[in-house]
Amino acid sequence: MLTLQRGATALLLLAVSCGGPPPVFAQQPEPLTQIAKIALPGINGDFDHFAYDLKRNRLISAAEENHTLELFDLKTGAHLKTIAGFKAPHSIAYIPETDEIFVTDGDDASCIVLSAKDLHRVDRIALRPGADSALYDPAAKLYYIANGGREENKKTSVVTVLSVLDHKKVAEIPVQGDNVEAMAMDHAHHRLFINIRDQKRIGVVDLATDKVVSTWIAPGMNRNTPMKFDAPTQRLFVAGRTPGRLYIFNTGTGRIVRELDSVDSADDLTWDPATSRIYVTGSQGISIFRQNSPDDYSTVMTMKTIGGKTSLYVPELKQFYVAHPKGDTPSAALLIYRVNP
């Protein structure tokens, strides 16, 4: 059934009463249009996070349970290379200042550094077990890595801060919780936000002291995993996994301004200020939301992705990437979408 707005209905009735043809209304394109699907028959198990090297037109994916990094052509998605030698790769950052790739390896309790030029191993920085989620701050040239906690049977974790210029640890932020997930940076207030998943809380770190100074909670928030921050509006976007739920925090007050149903088991979240859209990827697909104002958000749609939980948006190409495991399909695959205005 086609639903017409009041103005459109009036035009239609006028055209019919005058004996003319009904007007043609342009249909808005969906937010994402799938433009490629690259089968990956040799890759088994779940994927984790992505990074990209625009200089070399490369997309890099952590095939966590396959114990490899996978390289793709950034524009076409063509599979280029498999890099073995990892135990459980999770988060990846391409560092243009040093032309290196930093990879957290949870089972190896380390951050592995590769040369982006020829992909040989440059360094191994020892961490606590469970090195997983990470955030690169290009302004300070620092890499924040969550490690420790449940993987070493401890109730406390740390966020280790590495200098990407000399591969040295410069700080460790203690966290009362055994499972730290995604992080986001607030440069204006010199703060780091962290998902303390086992505590169902958001931690606020004062970067002047490298200490958690407060925590925020939302009723019903559970297994809060991905996170992004919109600095101009001071809004923090957090997705809970079970049940799937998107939470928007006012970072000035720490209070929830809106929450919406989302896909379950979310692993990645993208905030695109150019279109005012939020994309959450989880086991049920992609939930797409629109920011109408800092305190007003609406659901646009949910798209199926065959269980692709991890994703990346490359704004320079206006392309959105999702990796899905084999599951009930013949093989794993990389899905590429065009982001429409």
Query: CA geometry: angle at 203 spanning 142 and 248, to 5°?
Result: 100
Give me 263's structure tokens: 């896909």
Mean pLDDT, the chain, integer: 93
Q: Could you report the per-residue pLDDT of 291-326, keeping only the tens digit for each?
A: 999 999 999 999 999 999 999 999 999 999 999 999
Q: Is the pTM above the cut of 0.85? A: yes
Flag whether pLDDT at 12 surpasses 70: no
pLDDT at 28: 72
User: What's the number of CA atoms in the CB half-sphere (13 Å) around residue 185?
Assistant: 14
Interatomic CA distance for residues 278 and 172, integer angstroms:
31
Residue 187's identity, in one-letter code, is H
Flag whether pLDDT at 128 surpasses 70: yes
Q: How far is CA 197 from CA 149, 227, 241, in A?
A: 11, 11, 10
Helix count (H) and strand count (E) of the chain? 1, 28
pLDDT at 194: 98
Give me 5's structure tokens: 């707005």
**pLDDT tier for residue 22 given thresholds of 50, 70 and 90:** low
Q: Could you report the per-residue pLDDT of 159-171, keeping only the tens digit for each?
A: 999 999 999 999 9
Cβ burial, residue 28 (10 Å; 0-12/13-18/19+): exposed
Interatomic CA distance for residues 307 and 282, integer angstroms:
7
Interatomic CA distance for residues 188 and 174, integer angstroms:
22
Flag whether pLDDT at 18 surpasses 90: no
Interatomic CA distance for residues 80 and 247, integer angstroms:
37
Q: Could you report the per-residue pLDDT of 245-255, keeping only the tens digit for each?
A: 999 999 999 99
**Segment 174-178 long-range contacts (CB within 8 Å, at least 24 positions apart):** 174/211, 174/212, 175/146, 175/149, 175/203, 175/212, 176/212, 177/149, 177/201, 177/203, 178/149, 178/150, 178/154
